[in-house]
Each structure stands twice: as structure tokens, then as C-alpha cells.
Chain A
């Protein structure tokens, strides 16, 4: 017994070290676990409050730059709106002739349920392998887990954790982020329809740069070119189809087992994140809850 006490007091430092290190490693492994605890929410709210105050100072210096970017995005959207309203008028003309089947009209109208919640980024990292972003709106503003996040330039990430006033977003620059994307095999002007042989590809980030990511599992039969646009596909439950992800910058990073891996330049500037939008797709939420009720095997 005496020996045991002596051993414990000799190795006291090591035991304390092991306990503290164990706590720390437990935090590392759990990462963005969305099990909400009162302690976790308390920390998140208070840390985010500080971050919001700090980003307020930073934002002040970036206002001019942000203004330019929003102007660019606005002019692009104006172009899209003009094009789309022309298309709508065209379809309305067809509707009057009653030549379009009814179900198709209904699908068009369902699209109205997508809404965008404007948010401000208050903290982000780019140098880690698992990067996260904090935004200044939470469940009170209608944000929930597994909603997609975009900026005015392209996709940003996925909401993983929500408190009442703040949310944590898993950045696209994160080893855990995955997305099925679609390559538009030739540059198409905005609003153009997909050609039938658009290829699907798997988006992943390799941790090398905040400006580039890789596209894996492109079938070798698909011809891809530099400057081909990569957009979100209808197979993703995060984003509606057609949001820009980036453009292909290197067509043949590697070729293996009948698949090509390409490099893409990300559309979003992850070094200067400021205004982002959370996508709230109501029909998708219904679909997700339906999927959850299905038995998993």
C-alpha cells in the first residue's frame, strides 16, 4: 500500500498530464459533434460574441472591397434575371396555348420555396485541415443543421451546429466536406440548360491550398477541358442544382482505374469571406425528414 502511494506521488506529474491530455484529445476527436450541451452552447454564444465584436472592426476596413464584390454579384444577377424573365415570358406564352403538361408547371412553381438567409461571417480559418466558419445568425433566424451556405461567388459549406444566435459552418475546405458536382462540359453562359452528357464528379479538398480543390471519379470517357464550369448537382441535398463551385484548372491530375482526377479553382475567395447566404429549401427539409423515417440497414 505504501509502495502504491509512493508510486502515485512519484508519477503525479505524469498522471495529471495524462488526464489533461486525455481531455484535450477527446475534444480533438469529437470535432463538430452536434450533440448540444448547456456548457457547449454557453461557450459558443460567448466566444461568438467576442468574434462578432472583433469582426466588426475588421469589416470596417474591408467595406470598400466588399462593396465592389457585391456590385459585381449584383450585375451578374441582373443579367440572370433579364434572361430568366425572358424565358418565363416565353413559357407563359406556351401556357396560354395549353401545350405544356400540367405536372411540369407544378414543378416550376415548387421552386419558389427556396429562400436565402443573408448572414455575416464573424470567424473563419483556412490553414487547418478541418476548417470551420462561424456566422452571426442561428436557429431564431430559421437556420438549421445541414443547410447549404453560399457566397455571392460560389458555394461555401454546410451548417453543422446551431445555437440560438450563431451557427457553425463546415467550410468546403474541410476533409469531411463532400459533394457530388456536375461538370458542364463546355462553357455555357449563365442560365443555359445542361447538355445531356454533363458528367458527375466527386468534390473533395486535399488541404494543399485554399484556392484549389480536386474533382475525383470523373469517368475517363468524359472529355473535360480547362475552364469548364463545375456546378452543384441535383444529387446533393445541400444545394439546389446549378450553383457554381469553380472552374477546372488542371484536367489530368491523375488517371487511375478508368477515372480521372482534375483540379478546380474554387469560385469562392475563402481568404476574404464576409457576406454569405444560408439556403433554406423547404421541400428539401420535408424530403430529409422522410429519409430519416426510412429504416437503415
Chain B
């Protein structure tokens, strides 16, 4: 109960921070950090995929709404997509002697493990987001530049946040 309240509070904080701070931190008209992804990536590992998909959908919709109602759906689609891969990715990168991914704790992992979780998740989300925004392959290399630079930006910020607030 207290655990879920903590997650709810974190959710509100992440979404507000995204709107008030990170959305205004676009660099060179290409790189925008979407730090609220860290919340989705660090959701409890014992949640079933259906719950993850639902939370991803709602979180993406909330992030979208802050841009106004005219252009909804970009974050919603990208976040739902990224949550489909979360549990699978965790089991792939974990060592083979872990039988159940419920036993894994994010706090005890080293930076290599966290990097190999964060980077693919961020890349999937950002690729979906910017390709849907472009909605065509016209000017593809600029879209690619946006994807890569934003991914790097988001990765650096989320990695810093993780080391400061989540690591033991």
C-alpha cells in the first residue's frame, strides 16, 4: 500500500518535472530529454506485462496532454511500445543464474547492467516518438540525428538521476 503510494507520488513528480523543466531544455532544436521514462523503466519487476502496458499508456497520455490537446498520441504510442519490451529486456540482460526476474533489485545492479537496460529502452521510445512525429522518411537523417542526440541526452540525465536517487 505504502509502496504504491510512493510510486504514485513519484509519477506525479516525474510528470510535473517533465513539463516544467525538461520540456524546456531542448538543445540545438534537436535534442529533447524525456526523463519521465525513468519512472516507467524502474516500475516494480513483479508487475505483469498488462499492468505495464496500462501504466505506460496512461503515463504517455499525461505527458502528451501537457503539449496541448491538438497533437496527442506521440508519447502514448511510444510509451506503450516501450513497456512491451521491459520485462523481456530485463530477463535478457540478467545473468542466467537468476531464475525469476522478481528476485532482481534495481538498487543492487552495477552501472553496466543499468546502462544496458536504459539505452535500449530509451532508443526504442525515442525512435518511435520522433519517427511518428516526422510521419515520413523525408529528411530522414535529420530525424535520425534527433533520435540519437535526444537518446544520449535522456540517457545522461536518467543515469545521473538513477545514481543519485536510486543507488544504495
* Chain A residues near B (Cβ < 8 Å): 12-13, 16-17, 20-21, 23-29, 31-32, 40, 43-44, 47-48, 51, 54, 123, 125-130, 132-134, 160-161, 168, 170, 206-210
A132-B68 contact in complex given A17-B53, A21-B81, A126-B29, C-beta closer than 8 Å:
yes
**Nearest A-chain residue to B24, judged by Cβ:** A58
Q: Closest approach, in angstroms, between the C-beta of B128 and any C-beta of chain A? A: 10
Q: Are B69 and A168 in contact (CB under 8 A)?
A: yes
- Total interface residues on B, CB under 8 Å, equals 36
Chain A residues with CB under 8 Å of B19's CB are: 54
Chain B residues with CB under 8 Å of A26's CB are: 73
Chain B residues with CB under 8 Å of A123's CB are: 66-68
A28-B73 contact in complex given A17-B53, A206-B139, A209-B29, C-beta closer than 8 Å:
yes
Question: Does B42 interact with chain A (Cβ within 8 Å)?
Answer: no
The answer, among A16, A24, A32, A132, for a CB contact under 8 Å with B76, is A24
The answer, among A20, A21, A128, for a CB contact under 8 Å with B71, is A128
The answer, among B26, B49, B54, B132, for a CB contact under 8 Å with A28, is B132
Q: Closest approach, in angstroms, between the C-beta of A229 and any C-beta of chain B? A: 24
In the assembled complex, the Cα of A133 lies from the Cα of B70 at a distance in Å of 9
Q: Are A207 and B77 in contact (CB under 8 A)?
A: no
Residue with the greatest number of chain B CB neighbours at <10 A, chosen from A27, A123, A130? A27
Q: 5 A-B residue contacts at CB 8 Å?
A: A24-B60, A127-B30, A132-B68, A161-B69, A168-B69
In the assembled complex, the Cα of A16 lies from the Cα of B77 at a distance in Å of 13
4 shortest A-B CB distances, which residue pairs? A27-B73, A24-B77, A28-B73, A132-B70
Chain A residues with CB under 8 Å of B65's CB are: 43, 47
A128-B133 contact in complex given A24-B76, A54-B19, C-beta closer than 8 Å:
yes
Q: Closest approach, in angstroms, between the C-beta of B115 and any C-beta of chain A? A: 26
The answer, among B50, B57, B73, for a CB contact under 8 Å with A13, is B50
Q: Are B68 and A47 in contact (CB under 8 A)?
A: yes
Q: Are B80 and A17 in contact (CB under 8 A)?
A: yes
Chain A residues with CB under 8 Å of B60's CB are: 24
Q: Closest approach, in angstroms, between the C-beta of A133 and any C-beta of chain B? A: 8
Chain B residues with CB under 8 Å of A209's CB are: 29
The answer, among A21, A27, A129, A170, for a CB contact under 8 Å with B72, is A27
Known: A16-B50, A26-B73. 15 other contacts (CB 8 A): A20-B54, A20-B57, A21-B81, A28-B74, A31-B71, A47-B66, A54-B19, A123-B67, A127-B29, A130-B71, A134-B70, A161-B69, A168-B70, A207-B139, A210-B29
Question: Does B7 interact with chain A (Cβ within 8 Å)?
Answer: no
Chain A residues with CB under 8 Å of B139's CB are: 206-207
